[in-house]
Amino acid sequence: MNRASVNGSSTSTRFTRALGVATILGLGWLAAFGLLISPDDVVQGSYARLLYIHVPSAWLAYLAFGVTGLASAGYLWPRTRNLNWDRIAGASAEVGVVFMAITLVSGSLWGKVTWGTYWTWDARLTTTAFLFVTYIGYLAVRDLGGSHEQRARRSGVVALLAVLEVPLVHFSVKWWRPLHQSETIERGGLKGLMLFSFFVGMVTFTLLYVWLVMHRQRLIALNDIVDDRGLDRALAERRNEAAS
């Protein structure tokens, strides 16, 4: 990549800037379709508009945690071992936690108007909250210290265990038949403008996810470089002290 395409004081490149612009336009479209253009649902009325942010954010959280699991496997597998996998895993997990938080808050508001309560300990909500806390734990494990390789090994194992929770959350509505409704989209419950608005949400959140992960993994790479330089400097100072 040529120097002109790199921003001197950030993690941006031409590609991420173009992606960022597309994401902002998508968010504008999502707000327009979600709040203004999309029709009300026959059963849920205007509250169905929450679906356009709630479901895409949940799916993006699943995707993010899946990518964290795959990237961790990429690091732990000896033939593909590279710290870039670990950086992608860490970046994707953090962005996934943000999407999961959005899922929980939007779901809680939706629950208030449809069930009359912000929270209930049904299977879907409980497993989702557990998944959220698990990945906060994963991020805490990444910050425990040690070398970059130790961080990658330690958090890679945690990620491979944590990702097993994702199917548990997704299929909880089938296995336990809780208060939370089953899959609206898979049952063909959306049509016309409502379906289109839903896809605007999915595409926009996917663009946002890619953009955020690219910036976040570059930030981890920068922090690793700064850490290595600090360590090199400290070692050089110790050698000078020993020599003098």
Partner 1 sequence: MIGFRDAGYVVASYAVTFVGIALYTWNLLRRARKAAQQVPPEDRPWT
Note the residues at the interface with partner 1 (CB under 8 A): 1, 3, 6-11, 13, 27, 31, 34-36, 40, 45-47, 49-50, 53-54, 57, 84, 98, 101-102, 105-106, 109-110, 112-113, 208, 212, 215-216, 218-219, 221-223, 225-226
For partner 1, which is the closer residue by CB, 11 or 184?
11
Supply 195's token pair.
């379906």
Closest distance of CB 69 from partner 1, Å: 22
For partner 1, which is the closer residue by CB, 170 or 216?
216
Closest distance of CB 127 from partner 1, Å: 21
DSSP characters over 107-150: HHHHHHHHTS-S----HHHHHHHHHHHHHHHHHHHHTS-S-HHH
Report which of 85, 84, 88, 100 is spatially closest to residue 136, judged by C-alpha positions. 100
Closest distance of CB 164 from partner 1, Å: 26
Q: Please state the length of the chain.
A: 244
Closest distance of CB 1 from partner 1, Å: 6
User: Reduced to 3 states, what is the DSSP secondary structure of residue 41?
Assistant: strand
- Is residue 219 classed exposed, middle or buried when 0-12, 13-18 and 19+ CB atoms within 10 A define those classes? middle
For partner 1, which is the closer residue by CB, 29 or 168?
29
Instruction: Output the CA–CA distances (angstroms, integers) from residue 56 to 33, 77, 203, in the order listed.
Output: 14, 31, 9
For partner 1, which is the closer residue by CB, 10 or 181?
10
For partner 1, which is the closer residue by CB, 167 or 230?
230
Report which of 160, 144, 135, 11 is spatially closest to residue 75, judged by C-alpha positions. 160
For partner 1, which is the closer residue by CB, 5 or 182?
5
Closest distance of CB 229 from partner 1, Å: 8
Q: Alpha-carbon Rg of the chain, whole angstroms?
A: 21
Task: State how far the Cα of 72 lies from the Cα of 86, in Å rounded to an integer.
Answer: 6
For partner 1, which is the closer residue by CB, 7 or 182?
7
Closest distance of CB 198 from partner 1, Å: 15
Closest distance of CB 181 from partner 1, Å: 17
Residue 83: alpha-carbon gap to chain centroid: 19
